[in-house]
Amino acid sequence: MTRLPDLLPSGTTAVPVACVSAAGWAAIREGLSQRHQAYCAAVDFAPKAGRIVLLPGEDGRVARVLFGLGEPGGDRLVAGKLPGLLPPGAYRFDDGQDAGFDAAEAALAWLLGSYRFTRYRQAPLSPRLVAPDGVDAAEIVRIASAVAMGRDLVNTPANDLGPAEIEAAARLLAECHGAAVAVTKGEALARDFPMIHAVGMASPRAPRLIDLTWGDDGAPLVILVGKGVAFDTGGLDIKPSAGMLLMKKDMGGAAAALAAADMVMASGLPVRLRLLIPAVENAVSGNAFRPGDVLRSRAGLSVEIGNTDAEGRLILADALALADSETPDLLIDFATLTGAARVALGPDLPAFFTEDDSLAEAVMASAKAAIDPVWRMPLHAPYASLLESKVADLNNVSGGPFAGAITAALFLRRFAPKTKAHIHFDLYGWNPTTKPGRPEGGEVQTARLVFDLIKRRWPKWA
Ligand code: BES
Ligand code: MN
Ligand code: ZN
């Protein structure tokens, strides 16, 4: 599997890397030898974002690296490009970096950019970074490790990652952190979580609710819920091939929730954590749930199925009903829920929904701090009428083409009505192309921001 992210011990001999902003370039250039200045001119080096020059020493080896940061306000993960540009070996960030440089952010970007999915094919050796002085290296490694774990889950195709393997991932995480796991499946699932059962029953790989608990009884309760659809064919409302191609990533919400839980537990935040993952495969079979079926939900509401491809909200609804009954201090769900959210905001910007304006502000602040961007969308209550059904309490889809991400979010709210401190993330879980720190493929979105949010709300040494 993937090599775990790590940083070399501080003090390890390594090639220095000077990260240069447009403003800082003149000063750094003046400090270079005549030969190196001439070399930079010869290769036309400029401190533009992502540009690099390797400066040779007398012995012909790489003596120093210059790396362009670009203008202020650019990509804060730009240093995530370095592992893909440098030859294997040990590197460290130069002492006396320019003012535009943040060593902690750069080290995180480096580790995020070092990720390769190696389950089926080895990746070439990658360069290593020495832990910069004055940063919490252990925390950076914990964050990057959790992201790598989540990316591996998203990248693993559905033939090797079904509901049972999602459960195994939760059990492994629990074992690492001394958490407990309970799993509901079979008849108990059909009785207590009827919509999770209905969505998952067409697959020979049994649906289940995974329930992880960790932390001290007296601490504030944080419940994370992650959509764990191992593969989404659409069900009987089957997706066309282009729409199905990437649907191994439909457990990207579960991956984000697992990664956030990993960060919270690994750094020992003073909360009581509960992680709920409804894990299913939305498959096609003679016993699949159908358009027009009416399901009873855990919350007691009846739900008419307008479209079997709107399965995520069904399984989340039963998990949210359980969460709501526990009166959490904070409830967060993560889901690759709608194509509409992607149309609105694109792949890099998950949508979030909450009724609580001050919580929304905290989410935006944490998104900025954690370099994990999101955008708020409205829980516009009048649109709830779009989910009306003629035979049941509500339909799982709106009939028309409008506001698909909002109606999905409003659907979820019906099942957790008591919990006001509720955030719903509608995320994509995939990088369509490589960008610094974000290699093409499975992505863990919103977990770093959620970790930051919980850490600020319930600080470790309060
Ligand atoms: N998993 C999909 C949503 C999705 C599709 C996320 C593509 C990211 C990329 C979800 O289960 C789904 O199929 N949603 C439907 C809902 C519709 C039937 C109301 C959608 O968005 O088309
Ligand atoms: Mn679907
Ligand atoms: Zn889905």
Q: Which atom of ligand 1 is nearest to the CA of 397?
A: 19
Q: Please tell me whether residues 163 and 47 are part of one structural domain.
A: no
CATH code of the domain containing 402: 3.40.630.10
Side-chain-side CA neighbours of 54 within 13 Å: the count stands at 11
Residue from 303, 309, 407 to probe ligand 1 pocket by mutation (most atoms less than 8 Å from CB): 309
Confidence at 1, pLDDT banded by 50, 70, 90: very low
Q: Please tell me whether residues 234 and 343 are part of one structural domain.
A: yes
CATH code of the domain containing 69: 3.40.220.10
Cα of 310 to ligand 2 centre, how many Å? 5
* 288 C-beta closer than 6 A to ligand 1: no
Q: Please tell me whether residues 66 and 189 are part of one structural domain.
A: no
Cα of 320 to ligand 3 centre, how many Å? 17
Give the mean pLDDT of 255-266.
99
Give the mean pLDDT of 47-71.
96
Q: Please tell me whether residues 265 and 379 are part of one structural domain.
A: yes
Q: Please tell me whether residues 121 and 178 are part of one structural domain.
A: no
- Residue 368 pLDDT > 90: yes
Q: Is the pTM of this model over 0.95?
A: yes
The average confidence (pLDDT) of the chain is 97
* 313 C-beta closer than 6 A to ligand 1: no
- Residue 131 pLDDT > 50: yes
Could you tell me what percent of the chain has a pLDDT over 70? 99
Cα of 245 to ligand 2 centre, how many Å? 12
Could you tell me if residue 151 is inside a domain?
Answer: no
Question: pLDDT tens for residues 154-164?
Answer: 999 999 999 99
- Clarify whether 239 is annotated catalytic: yes
pLDDT for res 100: 78
Confidence at 95, pLDDT banded by 50, 70, 90: confident
- Residue 99 pLDDT > 90: no
User: Pick the catalytic residue: 29, 64, 171, 239?
Assistant: 239
Give the mean pLDDT of 279-308.
98
Number of domains in the chain: 2
Among protein residues, the one with the nearest Cα to ligand 1's atom 22 is 339
Could you tell me if residue 299 is inside a domain?
Answer: yes
Angle between helices 103-113 and 137-155 (to 10 degrees): 30
Instruction: Quote the domain boundaries for residue 69.
Output: 15-135
Q: Please tell me whether residues 167 and 112 are part of one structural domain.
A: no
**Which residue from 8, 143, 28 is spatially nearest to 89, judged by alpha carbons?**
8
* 397 C-beta closer than 6 A to ligand 1: yes
Q: Please tell me whether residues 168 and 67 are part of one structural domain.
A: no
Could you tell me if residue 1 is inside a domain?
Answer: no
Cα of 254 to ligand 3 centre, how many Å? 12
Q: Please tell me whether residues 100 and 242 are part of one structural domain.
A: no
**Which residue from 229, 327, 334, 346 is spatially nearest to 278, judged by alpha carbons?**
229
Could you tell me if residue 304 is inside a domain?
Answer: yes
- What is the strand order of the sheet 62-70 is part of? 52-56, 62-70, 15-21, 90-93, 128-129
Q: Please tell me whether residues 86 and 174 are part of one structural domain.
A: no
Could you tell me if residue 142 is inside a domain?
Answer: no
